[in-house]
Amino acid sequence: MSSMEHGGAGEAVPDLVKQFVVYFYRHIRERNIYEIYSMFDSSFQKLSDRYFKNQSWPTAESITEFVDNDHVFCLLYKEMYFRHMYAKLQPTLDQRIQSWETYCQLFGIILNRNVNMQLPNGWLWQMIDEFIYQFQSFCQYKAKLFQRTAGEIEQLKQCGEVWSPLAVLNYLQTFVDKSGIVAELQRDGGKSLAETEGYVESGKGGGSNVLKVLGYFARIGLLRVHCILGDYHGGLQAMEPLDLHNKQGLYTKVTLCHISTSYYTGFCYLMMRRYLDAIRVFNSGLSFIARIKQYHSRSSGYDQILQKMEQMYALLALAVALCPAGTKSLEENVHTSLREKHAEKIQRMTRSELSVFDELFTYACPKFITPSLPDYSNSGANTSSEAYKLQLKMFLTEISQQDQLPVLKQYLKLYTSISVSKLADLMGSEPEQLLTLLMRLKHKTSSSADTDFIVDVDASTGEETVQIGDIKMQKNYVEYYSNHILKLRAICQELTQPPRQQQSAQGGW
């Protein structure tokens, strides 16, 4: 890298960087989706690992003359520039603000102008994902006032709109609204979107996939933002237009998007006590990872895939411990891996050991944030973990309220009818306490019960009696056979197609 060129801002630009941006710009102008994604996901990472491990890439100003001073391309380059900075370095407050301004300019152009370009779906998803990650990072940054200088605190006071939760949510919702994606999904269930993957066919006078696909991914971005803010109902509402039962949906075409969707949706279900739904979503996500992870061992997101897999297994263990009946819906390979990883911890959780619930929740939960501004008058404050502590407290309170329920359920499974007084003796409690416990069991397991019961007066004895009936968990054979028919069709189609380049088979675009 001894040979250098000087860019427009007087900064020395290595020849390899010049070559990279020239070809990258050309492929974007030519709408060459495959080459764009290859350079974004592979070439950029390789150059970063080789030459920019401990320093930033050349600034956008230094490469403008090599790309015809194209403003939109320079914003895309800056998005990658700051992405690398967050991944490899420690961005300063000024750099965090500059990254926010870059997203504001780029999103403003996409939302308000007719952008005539196509970008790979994998990049568009990572654009939304990185936008939310940097928002989380900024919230953590400003929460640690004890690490900030007086000058930085004063600067933070002046930039209240920078990376604010309201501004982030507003951008995501505006993408949804302006793309018209909800109406399209409601019209045909996302069939046409899945068939074209959002891309505009060549030879149709231009057109762009950018706004529509960003609108689609923004729904999943809203799920994540609501989840890290602790609004689980809002997170699930954001997912309503997307049919997670549709195995051909657009979100399944982008690996990291599919995994993120499963993780955050399952977590919302878990926190809302919808344990069977959580188990179903985690099972689907983990089965998907098991099928595809071998194809991504050399991709830039492989470590993220493995991390989310382990977190989902931990969350699945929590859900199974709280609703053992859910194991009947697990696929065999997921059930086997779950036993290998967490069998002993699940046993301890069924004995109501709070420390295990605490351990798995802490390891697997999202990085929660506090939406409110910190108290800038207290320069020694550190509120970065307050949101996490609150969510953990709520979760453990819920678990402690279910303390005696596993034992009670075991007794109910032994009988079809038992008097309240006898059941109270078995539980070591008074009849009034038992009735309260039975009401709690009804309330806590309303959406995931495998045993149903009523309390009535026995006409022959005059005693209050618990009448118990099993809820049969029926396997959905229609879904089972439909999934296997789709798999067979995919295999047949793969066998009849000519050989193709490996990248396109990995769902990376």
User: What is the model's pLDDT at position 483?
Assistant: 67
Q: Residue 332: is its pLDDT beyond 70?
A: yes
List the alpha helices (DSSP H) in 293-419.
302-322, 332-350, 354-364, 386-401, 405-414
- 165-185 burial by CB neighbour count: b if 16+ within 10 A, else e? bebbbebbbbbbebbebbebb
pLDDT at 57 over 70: yes
Query: Which stretch, 10-14, 364-368, 481-485, has highest mean pLDDT?
Result: 364-368
Do 442 and 488 belong together in one domain?
A: no
Q: Are residues 390 and 437 in the same domain?
A: no
pLDDT at residue 263, as a whole number: 98
Residue 439 sits in a domain of what CATH number? 1.10.10
For 97-106, what is each residue's pLDDT tens digit? 999 999 999 9
Q: Which domain holds residue 443?
A: 404-470
Cα–Cα distance for residue pair 66/73, rounded to 1 Å: 11
Query: Is 28 domain-assigned?
Result: no
55 inside domain: no
Same domain, 408 and 395: no
Mean pLDDT of 151-155: 94
* Residue 463 resides in a domain: yes
pLDDT at 2 over 50: no
Q: Are residues 315 and 333 in the same domain?
A: yes
pLDDT, mean of residues 449-462: 79
- Domain identity same for 461 and 489: no
Per the structure, how many domains does the chain have?
2
408 or 382, greater pLDDT: 382
How much is the pLDDT for 91?
96
Residue-level pLDDT at 135:
97
Residues 466, 490 share a domain: no
Do the domain assignments include residue 418? yes
Residue 446 sits in the same domain as residue 358: no
Contact 60, 81 (CB under 8 A): yes
Q: Are residues 157 and 278 in the same domain?
A: yes
Q: What is the pLDDT of residues 171-180, one digit of tens each?
A: 999 999 999 9
Is the model more confident about 458 or about 318?
318
The per-residue pLDDT for 247 is 80
Residue 6 covered by a domain = no
| Cβ within 8 Å of residue 121, ≥6 positions away | 197, 198, 209, 213, 250, 253, 254, 509
pLDDT in tens, 254-288: 999 999 999 999 999 999 999 999 999 999 999 99
Are both 346 and 422 inside the same structural domain? no
**Does a structural domain hold residue 168?**
yes
Chain centroid to CA 377: 35
- Residue 141: pLDDT band (50, 70, 90) is very high
Flag whether pLDDT at 362 surpasses 60: yes
Structural domain includes residue 7 = no
127 shares its domain with 177? yes
Query: Does residue 283 sit in the same domain as residue 430?
Result: no
Looking at the fold, whether 281 and 391 belong to one and the same domain comes out as: yes
Residue 3 has pLDDT above 60, yes or no: no
Q: Cβ distance 411 to 426 under 8 Å? A: yes
Is 40 part of any domain?
no
Q: Does position 202 have pLDDT exceeding 70, yes or no?
A: no
Report the mean per-residue pLDDT for the chain.
88
Greater confidence (202 vs 67) lies with 67
